[in-house]
């Protein structure tokens, strides 16, 4: 019986440590995003144009020879 209680306690502490670790990572990411939010917003605004440029460039290269085919 005592072994089951110890196993249960170990499972609970493992899960608690996992949740605490996730919380720490989220706090770090929040701090990072608040610190660099201007750059993040600027990049997010440019993202559709960057994606469009990549798609256009790939469409232009669609007939290029591919190695190892």
Is the pLDDT assigned to residue 69 strictly greater than 60?
no
Q: How many CB atoms lie within 10 A of CB 45?
A: 9
Which structural domain, as residue segments, surrounds residue 38?
Answer: 2-60
Let me know if residue 68 belongs to a domain. no
Q: In which residue are the tokens 């605004």 written?
A: 45
- Confidence label for 54 from pLDDT (cuts 50, 70 and 90): confident
- 30 vs 53, higher pLDDT: 30
pLDDT tens column, 7-48: 776 677 888 889 999 999 999 999 999 998 898 889 889 888
Let me know if residue 65 belongs to a domain. no
CA distance 28 to 38: 17
Question: Average pLDDT for residues 46-63, to the nearest whole number?
Answer: 78
**Number of domains within the chain:** 1
């Amino acid at each position: 019986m005592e072994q089951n209680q110890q196993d249960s306690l170990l499972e609970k502490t493992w899960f608690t440590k996992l949740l605490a670790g996730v919380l720490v990572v989220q706090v770090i990411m929040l701090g990072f995003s608040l610190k660099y939010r201007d750059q993040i917003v600027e990049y997010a605004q440019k993202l559709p144009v960057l994606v469009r440029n990549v798609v256009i460039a790939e469409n232009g290269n669609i007939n290029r020879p591919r190695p190892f085919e």
